[in-house]
Amino acid sequence: GKEIALYNGYGELLSTMVQGKVDNMSANIQTYLKKNYKAYKPVDIYSVKKIAEKQNLYKVIVAHKKTKAQEELWFNTSGKIVTF
């Protein structure tokens, strides 16, 4: 998958993202999506490392099955939803 690095205006690394395979998503994330996002299907997942916050997260992109509208969801490494 692709890798993305995000820098601030001073050239400091803020975060890195590595694209993963939706098929390899954790069971906890799959369960959350099946329960709370029935009308959506996952289209992308990224493993995200936020440097300053020392956080490892998963960013999941889901698309509505009919309208194709996309939403971005964040999960911690235990598969629990995270809000910012």
Per-residue pLDDT at 50: 96
Per-residue pLDDT at 76: 97
Region 53-80 average pLDDT: 97
Contacts of 56 (CB under 8 A, 6+ apart): 47, 48, 49, 50, 76, 77
Region 14-39 average pLDDT: 96
Region 55-68 average pLDDT: 97
> Which amino acid, one-letter code, is at 5?
A
Has residue 84 got a pLDDT over 90?
no
Region 45-68 average pLDDT: 96
Q: How far is CA 74 from CA 4, 9, 21, 36, 56, in A?
A: 17, 25, 16, 14, 10
